[in-house]
Chain A
Amino acid sequence: MSKHEDRRPDPGELLRRVEAGERRESRGRLKVFLGYAPRVGKSLRMFDEGRRRKERGQDVVVAALQQPAGPEIQAVVDRLETVPQDQGAIDLVAMFRRHPQVCLIDGLAQSNPPGSRNPQRWQDVRDLLDHGIAVITAVNVQHIREQQDAVERITHRRAAHSIPQAFLQEADEIEVVDAPPEALLEGAAPAKMPDARQLSELRELALLLAADVIDRQLQGYLDEHGVTARWGAQERILVCLTPKSNAVEMLRSGYRNATRFHGALIAAYVEQSEIGAEDRTRLESHLTLARELGAEVHCLQGADFVQAILDFGRDQRITQLFLGHSMRNPRTAFLRGPMDRLIDAADEFDVRIFPHRNAE
């Protein structure tokens, strides 16, 4: 499948995987419907999936329903068994006793009333999963804790309840519920809803969040099968830093590209033994800038600069390599330099050459 050697994980990594696998086996499956705003239709989609599963013979129970439920949702829920809530919280004791195959839980980000077993509903979900019950649930992007700053920038509001993004990451499946903003605004109380532009921005945020979650899951899957990934869906830019390179331009451009592509920015330098004090200082300032721009910074070891970059680039699934180049004497061209060797060997990523500013 891959033309590169398959990677062999170290023993610690293997043990971690075995444990994770065992945990997963006894654990119930978690499926999350992710929406970008209220009224997008995620609850209906969730309950409808419950209905279809029941029709296919699975033992499905409703554990939490948001009130007021629309007539369409109510019609679906009426065809399902409901375990009544206990003072506004999921009745975990009743759920464990009833022990269905699948339970449906709306409003994942809800908080429980004081005195409940868990302060948050998502923690109830975790308990249900630990008891081997599969959970299908629904949540909007404004309730994902790590996304709340971005949501607040868009809507100037912040939801009171939230769940950690790590919980979303744990889900076995995440499904995006998408619809045009007009569909959400139709017949809505205007004061409570973001405007069409804000909705579009939330929609983009939700899609990118889902893409990132999936990307990490895909990476996990490939790692599990010991395969080096091929060209992925995400742009990953590696800026190669040296003391002499025009690092400011390269990093700024890398940052801009990564932002536009919603990709990753990585900066790396290859450790050199003989390096003067002046070069050391320049390199340090480049690394500081890289970190300021949010790049992941790596120091590579290796006798051969080109090989170190190539190995790292493949391992990191990069799609673009940014490289500085000095305009040396053309007569030395036949001494194929690092640039030429990198271009020759780079089958999987583009090489972008940035001339050194103090060239000639």
Chain B
Amino acid sequence: MRGKLKVYLGYAAGVGKTFRMLDDAQALRQKGADVAIGYFEPHGRKETIAKIEGLEIIPRKKLAYAGSQFEEMDTEAILQRKPAVALVDEFAHTNVPGSARLKRWQDVEALLDAGIDVLTTLNVQHLESLNDQVWDVTGVRVRETVPDWVVDGADEVIFVDLTPRALRNRLERGVVYAPEKAQKAMENFFIESNLTALREMAMRHAAHELEEKLESAPAGRAEGREAERILICLTGRPSSAMLIRRARRVADYLQAGCLALHVKREPAMDEVAERHLNFARNLRIETHVVQGEDVAKTIADFARNERVTQIFMGRSAPLPWWKRFEETTVQKLVRQAHDMQVTIVAERRR
């Protein structure tokens, strides 16, 4: 049987996710559960370190990369030890090159598959679908992301809250980071408006996870659900990643099907488009490639065939002057797909 996944969701470093996770682990241990720490990041926080007392720690694995020593979670050792419950801090972590798996969430999947329950910590800004929104609000492009479906699959998501004021107080007192780093953090990422916006996102996401579970439960709300299907039109344009994330998010909330289409004019595959298709597949979007001369018509025909209700696309590139009097792909598509809704996703720029 697959293990259960419990995610402690926060909105920034220092809100108390790890502390809360350790607190629950201690309670489990007292009830006689076989608990072990798979990976724990103490960050030198005294109260947190005190919380690990009595818990078994599975030693980390040492790896050499680019002439330096790195330490990663030793997934194989945990699998061998096979505790009932494993604690894995920092769910969104990217492993150092040369590790068996690219991402820590993939290590966690391996533990779950082996029947080990996992407790883990995550900040909301690491969710793939929120990447653009987080960047827009904070100016920070988060590199380490977790696909939403991984978190959607968690058995329990617990929102760990702390008010931004309390968090900034903790920073000031040096509880979260060393003084110099704390000062920098408070002037940049940890400004009050950023923290408030991220916190609201985390609350809404925690509520969304609950709703997903309630609706998929047998006694789910019997409110009639239209069978919506969303089609993402992919090109090689750089804003495609933003388009994919946005469409995926809307599809998730509407509980709609989600597929992606790339129309190529020539038999050869565009390398950039291929990368975008790959990205879509990582987010569990079914991808299709079709060859066609008339892009708009090809999309409309495909969409009709697939019973698509809504098409998502990026803005058309401006036409060169000699084509000024022609229609853009968006214009053509709106005219051809007149039985569907067409959404043009904004290229939100800071």
Q: A214-B196, A214-B203, A234-B200 are in contact. Are A203 and B326 (CB under 8 A)?
A: no
The answer to whether B158 and A233 touch across the interface, beta carbons within 8 angstroms, is no
Contacts of A197 in B (CB 8 A): 214, 217, 219
Check A233–B133 contact: CB distance below 8 A: yes
A182 to B192 Cα, complex, angstroms: 34
Does A204 sit within 8 A of B, measured CB to CB? yes
- B254 contacts which chain A residues (CB < 8 A)? 256-257, 260
A305 at the interface (CB under 8 A from B): no
A359–B335 Cα distance when bound, in Å, is 10
CA distance A253 to B207 in the complex (A): 22
Q: Give the contacting residue for B204; candidates A31, A174, A211; CB below 8 A.
A: A211
Which of A77-85, A100-108, A161-169, A342-350 is near enough to bind chain B?
Answer: A342-350
Q: How far is the CA of A348 from the CA of B345 in the complex (A)?
A: 9
Nearest-Cβ distance from residue A13 to partner chain B, whole angstroms: 20
Given A211, A230, A354, which contacts B207 in the complex, CB threshold below 8 Å? A211
Whether the Cβ atoms of A347 and B348 lie closer than 8 Å is yes
CA distance A200 to B348 in the complex (A): 35
For the complex formed, measure the closest distance between the CB of B258 and the CB atoms of chain A, giving whole angstroms.
Answer: 14
Q: Is the pair B346, A233 in contact by a Cβ cutoff of 8 Å?
A: no
Instruction: Let me know if A189 is at the binding interface, CB within 8 A.
Output: no
A355 CA / B136 CA spacing, docked (Å): 31
**Chain A interface: which of B73-81, B141-149, B162-170, B177-185?**
B162-170
Tell me the bound Cα distance from A207 to B304 in angstroms. 39
Known A-B contacts A355-B338, A359-B338; A233 and B315 likewise in contact (beta carbons under 8 Å)? no
CA distance A87 to B165 in the complex (A): 36
A273 CB to closest chain B CB (Å) equals: 28
What B residues does A350 contact at CB under 8 A? 246, 343-346
The smallest beta-carbon distance between B195 and chain A, in angstroms, is 10
Partner of A175, one of B136, B162, B344: B162
- Give the residues from 158 to 180 in chain A that come closer than 8 angstroms, CB to CB, to chain B: 172-180
Residues on B with beta carbons closer than 8 Å to the beta carbon of A208: 203-204, 207
Mark out the residues of chain B between 314 and 335 whose CB falls within 8 Å of any chain A CB in the assembled complex: 315, 324-328, 330-332, 334-335
CB distance from A67 to the nearest CB of B (A): 25
Q: Which of A113-121, A216-224, A264-272 contacts B (4 or more CB under 8 A)?
A: A216-224
Q: Do residues B344 and A260 form an inter-chain contact, with CB atoms below 8 A?
A: no
**Could you tell me if A211 and B253 are in contact, using CB atoms closer than 8 angstroms?**
no
* A295 CB to nearest B CB, Å: 18
Cα(A161)–Cα(B193), bound, Å: 34
Chain B positions 172 through 200: 1 when the CB is less than 8 Å from some CB of chain A, otherwise 0:
00000000000000000000110011011
Which of the residues A179, A215, A256, A334 comes within 8 Å of B158, measured between beta carbons?
A179
Query: For the complex, is B71 an interface residue (Cβ under 8 Å from A)?
Result: no
Tell me, yes or no, whether A262 is within 8 Å of chain B by CB: yes
Determine whether A93 belongs to the interface, using a CB cutoff of 8 Å to chain B. no
Closest to B338 in A: A355
Is the Cβ of B204 less than 8 Å from the Cβ of A217?
A: no
Residues facing A in B44-69 (CB within 8 A) are: none
Q: Which residue of B lies closest to A45 (CB)?
A: B161
Q: Which residue of chain A has its CB nearest to the CB of B173?
A: A56
Which residues of B lie under 8 Å from residue A176 when comparing CB positions? 159, 161, 203
Distance in angstroms from B203 CB to nearest chain A CB is 4
B180 to chain A, nearest CB (A): 22
Q: Known contacts being A257-B254, A344-B315, is A262 close to B204, with CB within 8 Å?
A: yes
Interface size bucket, B side?
35 or more
Residues on B with beta carbons closer than 8 Å to the beta carbon of A339: 334
Closest residue of chain A to B8 (Cβ to Cβ) is: A178
Choose the segment among A15-23, A274-282, A325-333 that binds chain B (4+ C-beta atoms closer than 8 Å).
Answer: A325-333
Given that A207-B210, A215-B200, A233-B204 are known contacts, is A343 also in contact with B344, CB under 8 Å in the complex?
yes
Whether the pair A218, B343 counts as a contact (CB closer than 8 A) is: no
A330 and B196 contact, Cβ closer than 8 Å, known pairs A197-B214, A253-B341: no
> A211-B204, A344-B315 known; A173 and B165 CB under 8 Å?
yes
Complex Cα gap A177–B69 (Å): 40
Query: Chain A residues with Cβ under 8 A from B274's Cβ?
Result: none
**In the assembled complex, B156 has its CB within 8 A of some CB on chain A:** yes
In this assembly, does A340 line the interface, its C-beta being within 8 Å of a C-beta of chain B? yes
Residue of B nearest to A339 (CB): B334
Shortest CB-to-CB span from A269 to chain B, Å, is: 20
Distance in angstroms between the alpha carbons of A334 and B326 in the assembled complex? 7
Interchain CB contact under 8 A, B210 and A200: yes
Instruction: Report chain A residues within 8 Å CB of B207.
Output: 204, 207-208, 211, 262
Chain B residues with CB under 8 Å of A330's CB are 327, 331-332, 335
Least Cβ–Cβ distance between B121 and chain A, in angstroms: 14
The reply on A27 being an interface residue by CB < 8 A is no
Instruction: Report B114 CB to chain A, min CB distance, Å.
Output: 23
Give the chain B neighbours of A233 by CB distance below 8 A: 133, 137, 197, 200-201, 204
In the bound complex, do residue B193 and residue A207 qualify as a contact, i.e. CB atoms below 8 Å apart?
Answer: no
Q: Mark B215-230, 1 if CB is under 8 A from A, else 0.
A: 0010100000010000
Does A73 make an interface contact (CB < 8 A)? no
Residues 15-52 of chain A, each 1 if its beta carbon lies under 8 Å from chain B, else 0? 00000000000000001000000000000000000000
B255 surroundings in chain A (CB, below 8 A): 260
The chain B residue sitting closest to A257, CB to CB, is B254
Closest residue on chain A to residue B312 by CB atoms: A350
B348:A348 contact, CB within 8 angstroms:
yes
Knowing that A180-B156, A351-B344 touch, tell me 13 more A-B residue pairs with CB under 8 angstroms. Answer: A175-B161, A175-B162, A208-B204, A208-B207, A218-B193, A218-B200, A222-B193, A230-B137, A230-B350, A233-B137, A349-B346, A350-B345, A352-B343
Chain A residues packing against B (C-beta within 8 Å): 3, 31, 172-180, 197, 200-201, 203-204, 207-208, 210-211, 214-215, 217-218, 221-222, 230-234, 253, 256-257, 260-262, 320, 325, 327, 330, 333-334, 339-340, 343-344, 346-355, 359-360
